[in-house]
Amino acid sequence: MVLHPSTDTRTLIHPSASVFFAIRGPWHNGHDFLSAAHAKGVRRFVVSEPPKPGDPWHEGCDVLVVPDVLLALQRMACAKRTAFQGPVVAVTGSNGKTTVKEWLARLLPQHRAIHRSPLSHNSQLGVPLSTWSIEAHHDVSVIEAGISEPGEMQRLQACIRPTLGVLTHLGQAHLGNFNGPAHLAEEKCALFKGCQQVFMPEALRDACATHLDAAIVTWANDNDPKAHRADLRVHVDTSAQALSLHWRGASAKTSVPFTDIASIQNACTAALVALHLDVKLADVAANMADLTTLSGRLSSTQRARGGVLIQDDCNHDFGSLRVALSALDAAPDAGRSLALVGDVPQSGLNASQRAQQLAELAKHHRLSDLWVWAPSWGAEAETALLEAEQDKPSGAPIAIRVFRDMDELVTASNALGSANVLVKVASTDRLQPAMQALAPARHVTTLTLNTSALVNNLRALKAHAGAEGVIAVIKGLGYGTDPVLLGRLLEAQNVDWLAVAYADEGVVLREAGIRARLLVLNPDPSTFGTMHAHDLEPQLVSTMHVQLAKEWAEANEVDGWPVHLKLDTGMHRLGLAPHEDEFVETLLQSPALELVSVMTHLAGADDPELDDATRKQLGAFLRRTTERFHNVPRHILNSAGAARIHEWLSASDREAHAPVLTHIRVGLAMYGVGPGSEQVGLENVLSLETSVAKLVHIPAGEGSGYGFTDAVDHDRALAVLSVGYADGYPRALGNGRGQVRWNGHLLPTVGRVCMDMVTVDATGLDVHPGDRVTLWGDRPRIDDVAAQASTIPYELLTRIGPRVQRIVQR
């Protein structure tokens, strides 16, 4: 029996009992890693490319050759699903899938053994890997499914085979590859084939009814004209963060810790499913008050003593724990690797069995220390944990400690030196004192980067533009984020080139161990030696530039130094003029240089009024590179050009200009920002947040801050935020021009933005010191904030100060 399917050699568990599925993806071909899997001990493989004679990896191995490796994985996972007899709840929607899945788990009783997808693993690959982990002892399985193209949902349905379905939301603005809302509804509903009931907001019923054979169960706000059709009626009082639930003749009141409409809708959808699964209305209402906003992601921050702290805010189960431990395995070596893990009460196992399962997981990961936070454990469970660990198959033993006292845990955390640390506990556990000891907060203002969203955006842009290759631009310190982290992430995606502005940026990436091809867009000839020593590839922008590169390479007996050429097609900043092409072509015949790509830059691709000029640049680039420089990749599409390509270029023109549209060169669009981002369906990647430092009550007629500006004729409660223009929040956003989001509300700025502080109007709201507020993210978007500040998103990102703490979210 296959115990462990694997598609990534970096996260192999039990290699001798694993099957490696060599999947072809948009960035990787798993067949390129067969030898690496074999070297780690894998002896079972599923491939679509038959082994060649002499390939050492398949000798003495079981090799299954199939036409579609991913489909084979899905069908094998389906066999595992078939053996499970309990209810299987499939969750889909344009957004809110992970939140509803996690909140449903919170609303179900602790004694229920709940299986669910780890994190937001809802793709063609994530679904079968999630399904694989269903065990016979589970009471219910909750699996989320996401699609980006028509036809994908049928494969996921065949893998999950749900008995119950949940539809969270149907988006209108992010239709992507779907031909309108009706087509999207039809594709989403394909997941629910064979379901007994499908749960959704009443507002979605009419769009879905014709696509479903199952009974439709809904909830509705009681002011909805069609609320009489709903099974669960909800009265929402956002001002008091209160809900009244009416279900089958009974009523209950509850409060929720949020006021934004999306969160309330997700909470009501989760409550509807929990009620159907026989949770009492009073219990649902009580548990809804404890719901907290979830990202559904792993996040990591640098530890001051060395290493990283990885946190997971999803509900705690063995499936998500496996994923989190794999993330810890993949972290750069810090000399020590420690997991602080909580008990798993919703597993359906008794305490001793849970302890044994934790030990079984730990022994197959690169752990030096396992700390278990289990205040309710007795001596029997602790003994079971220690005894199970004695069977570790290889390597140094893991140091195990069980903590029942918070002071003891904090003391141990304070004494911990350099180490990579994973904290994975149930969401109801409160370990902030220990987490503060493990990684003391350096600054309350944080910039969070969602790496999954960034990768998804890159894939979406590539597909949208019909490109074959990608040049990922990470200049300007990674647009104010973390260039080394971005470099590692994008290198793992096998992009064709990483691009930086200057040689020193490339040197930083090389010194961090990044080996991807690196293009330097603005190299100074004085740095040619440094660039060659670090395997950096210069973009040459003038005849003098090319001449100096040729002379330097020949003088230093360099053979075939890869260089790129820039042509000026109308921007008139950098690049060769048309009359210089022939001379440069002669220079490039030197064996000291090797031309590897030719590019130009679009000057107005972000502005629809300049589309004629953009098309003119495209035509000029095609003509010049057809005559010369045509045997290498030719790229013109920047972020705006790639995102808006279907707006400024007809299908026939795209076909005619195909030779120069094979690659996209994107930077800002990777973050889900800029013109065309909504049309492509790009996700927000970056969120800038800070905390409320103090509440101040201001009498009518008095202003606030420097100059006593913004005086009004009524009393106010103002919230002072721990952020200012030294952190990158523009001074231009003072006096009400800017807004920040707190708990679903947009709060206007009051007075001037200071170096370290911003004041916002919180009158009439229950704001407290320590509350988190969003300066930009999903709402308000950075595009809107930039417009309010009369600037562009590029400037806001690159001005984020160094004291702002960068957080990575997977």
pLDDT, tens digit, for every residue of 344-362? 877 777 888 888 888 888 8
pLDDT of residue 427: 60
Cα distance between residue 497 and residue 537, in whole Å: 10
- For residue 567, give every residue at least 6 positions away whose Cβ sits within 8 Å of its Cβ, in sequence order, or none: 575, 576, 581, 598, 599, 600, 621, 624, 625
Residue 57: pLDDT band (50, 70, 90) is confident
Active site residue 725: no
Residue 153 pLDDT > 50: yes
pLDDT of residue 296: 55
- For residue 272, give every residue at least 6 positions away whose Cβ sits within 8 Å of its Cβ, in sequence order, or none: 199, 217, 218, 219, 231, 232
Peptide bond into 345 cis (omega under 30): no
pLDDT of residue 28: 76
Q: How far is CA 210 from CA 213, 379, 701, 746, in A?
A: 8, 57, 59, 38
Q: Domains in the chain, ordered, with CATH?
A: 4-67 (3.40.1390.10), 72-288 (3.40.1190.10), 298-439 (3.90.190.20), 449-680 (3.20.20.10), 686-809 (2.40.37.10)
Q: Which of 226, 253, 616, 706 is catalytic?
A: 706
Give 3-state DSSP helix, strand, coil % of the chain, rounded to 5. 40, 25, 40
Higher pLDDT: 444 or 730? It is 730
- Parallel, antiparallel, or unpaired for β 634-637 and 399-403? unpaired
Query: How many C-beta atoms surround the C-beta of residue 655 within 10 A?
Result: 11
Residue 294: pLDDT band (50, 70, 90) is low
Tell whether the torsion through CA atoms of 260, 263, 264 and 265 is positive or negative.
Answer: positive
Q: Are 503 and 527 in contact (CB under 8 A)?
A: yes
Cα distance between residue 325 and residue 338, in whole Å: 10
SS3 per-residue string spanning 13-62: CCHHHEEEECCECCCCEHHHHHHHHHHCCCCEEEECCCCCCCCHHHCCCE
pLDDT of residue 529: 95
Active site residue 475: yes
What burial letters (b/e) apply to 49-87, b meaning 16+ CB within 10 Å?
Answer: eebeeeeebbeeeebeeeeebbbbbbebbbebbeebeeb
Mean pLDDT of 562-590: 94
Beta strands in 173-294 (DSSP E): 197-201, 215-221, 232-237, 242-247, 250-255
Residue 249: pLDDT band (50, 70, 90) is very high
What 3-state class would DSSP assign to 341?
Answer: strand
Mean pLDDT of 328-347: 84
* Claim: this prediction has a pTM higher than 0.85: no
pLDDT, tens digit, for every residue of 155-211? 999 999 999 999 999 875 445 677 788 898 999 999 999 999 999 999 999 999 999
Long-range contacts of the stretch 82-87 (C-beta < 8 A, 24+) = 82/161, 83/136, 84/134, 84/135, 84/136, 84/138, 84/141, 86/138, 86/139, 86/140, 86/141, 87/140, 87/141, 87/163, 87/164, 87/277
pLDDT, tens digit, for every residue of 226-243? 989 999 999 988 665 789
Q: Which two tokens stand for residue 9?
A: 């050699």
- For residue 319, give every residue at least 6 positions away whose Cβ sits within 8 Å of its Cβ, in sequence order, or none: 115, 116, 117, 118, 130, 133
Q: Which of 97, 475, 550, 566 is catalytic?
A: 475
Residue 69 pLDDT > 70: yes
Q: Are 692 and 767 in contact (CB under 8 A)?
A: yes
